[in-house]
């Protein structure tokens, strides 16, 4: 038996090994490898989006973090993925595996945060499960959503010459104490849906592992290279370029659009979302191997997680 440990594998390679040959029906539009799965539902014009995402104690949060923020983050990570596909979130199930010594009040706080996120983004919390954990607290969210087929944006449609944009600012999502924006971010659902509705977005994803890990994923899916002007990266106050590229957990949108549409988009964006930056950071290039070197970001299984 192959005893190679997980920690020796790049996470994306692991996912690829695990998900080849999965049984998928003919109604499955997008499966493993995109932000969300998309499934055709007989009788419905819209496709259903399906997403699952988990938070693990001491990996994605720590016990000293406010439970309301942990709950918020747990649901908003999945909401962010639905938004990055151009979709609208719908119904969520929550699984909690908790050690018996956890204060009930902490779990109630997590549910308050889940509630707040659900109300803010129009999600129904329709159930879930509690289980016992021998150690770490584990939260898993399953979320459905809907998208019109013409507005479903994947990672794989980027074309040579496309302009690359990111919303908001990058870097520094973890404060000195491990708290910070990664616990309170606003998923870009309104922005993702507006983009998908009003522009021909060729490829899009949310930045969860950092531009340095996520841009190569979008480029790989689209079989392109990229040229990034690192000096133009929109950074949070006090962040270096390396932090903007490598910190991760920005939950901003990264997308590709025809260069000819870039100026129209920028002008329309400023009117629609005057308080959120939109920055053109570079270009998709024809040759897949032709890539601006980026700090590696969180690509290793031992340090991160990813979509299977």
Which residues 21-50 are close enough to bind a second copy by CB under 8 A?
A: 21-25, 27-28, 30-34, 36-37, 39, 41-45, 48, 50
Query: Residue 130 or 264: which CB sits closer to a second copy?
Result: 130
- What CA–CA distance (Å, rounded) separates 83 from 53? 14
177 by Cβ neighbours in 10 Å (0-12 / 13-18 / 19+) ranks as: exposed
Smallest distance, a second copy to C-beta of residue 81, A:
10
Residues binding a second copy: number (CB under 8 A) = 93
Per-position x/- string for 157-186, each x denoting binding to a second copy as judged by CB under 8 A, each - no binding: ------------------------------
Smallest distance, a second copy to C-beta of residue 298, A:
10
Nearest to 120 by CA among 155, 173, 60, 76: 76
Tell which one of 10, 119, 160, 258 touches a second copy (CB under 8 A). Answer: 119
Smallest distance, a second copy to C-beta of residue 37, A:
4
Query: Residue 178 or 270: which CB sits closer to a second copy?
Result: 178
Phi-psi group of 178: left, alpha or beta (phi > 0 → left; psi -120 to 50 → alpha; rest → beta) = left
221 binds a second copy (CB under 8 A): no
Q: Identify the sign of the CA torsion 75, 218, 216, 235.
A: negative
Nearest to 212 by CA among 249, 163, 265: 249
Which residues 133-162 are close enough to bind a second copy by CB under 8 A?
A: 133-136, 138, 140, 142, 144
- What CA–CA distance (Å, rounded) separates 216 from 204? 12
54 binds a second copy (CB under 8 A): yes
Edge-first strand listing for the sheet containing 201-206: 201-206, 253-257, 163-167, 278-285, 225-228
104 binds a second copy (CB under 8 A): yes
- Block residue for tokens 């009040």: 105
Query: Residue 243 corresponds to which tokens in the numbers above?
Result: 């932090």
56 binds a second copy (CB under 8 A): yes
Smallest distance, a second copy to C-beta of residue 115, A:
6
16 binds a second copy (CB under 8 A): no
6 binds a second copy (CB under 8 A): yes
Smallest distance, a second copy to C-beta of residue 210, A:
16
Enter the DSSP assignment of 147: E
């Amino acid at each position: 038996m192959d005893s190679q440990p997980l920690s020796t594998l790049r996470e994306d390679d692991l996912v690829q090994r695990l998900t080849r040959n999965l049984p998928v029906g003919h109604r499955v539009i997008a499966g493993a490898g995109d932000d969300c799965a998309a499934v055709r539902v007989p009788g419905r014009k819209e496709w259903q989006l399906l997403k699952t995402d988990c938070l693990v104690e001491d990996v994605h949060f720590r016990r000293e973090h406010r439970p309301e923020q942990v709950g918020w983050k747990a649901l908003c990570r999945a909401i962010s993925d639905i938004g990055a596909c151009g979709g609208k979130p719908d119904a969520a199930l929550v699984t909690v595996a908790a050690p018996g010594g956890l204060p009930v009040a902490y779990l109630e706080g997590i549910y308050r945060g889940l509630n707040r996120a659900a109300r803010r983004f129009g999600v129904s919390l329709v159930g879930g499960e509690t289980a016992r954990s021998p150690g770490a607290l584990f939260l898993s969210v399953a979320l459905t959503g809907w998208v019109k087929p013409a507005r479903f944006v994947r990672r794989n449609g980027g074309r040579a010459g496309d302009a690359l944009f990111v919303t908001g600012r990058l870097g520094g999502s973890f404060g000195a104490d491990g708290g910070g924006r990664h616990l309170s971010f606003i998923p870009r659902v309104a922005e993702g849906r507006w983009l998908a509705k009003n522009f021909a977005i060729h490829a899009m994803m949310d930045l969860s592992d950092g531009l340095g890990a996520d841009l190569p994923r979008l480029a790989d899916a689209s079989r392109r290279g990229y040229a990034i002007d690192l000096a133009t990266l929109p950074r949070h106050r006090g962040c270096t370029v390396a932090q903007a590229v490598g910190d991760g957990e920005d939950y901003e949108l990264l997308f590709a659009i025809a260069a000819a549409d870039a100026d129209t988009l920028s002008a329309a964006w400023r009117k629609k979302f005057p308080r959120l930056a939109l920055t053109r950071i570079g270009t998709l290039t024809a040759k897949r191997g032709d890539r601006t070197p980026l700090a590696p970001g969180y690509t290793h299984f031992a340090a991160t997680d990813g979509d299977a």
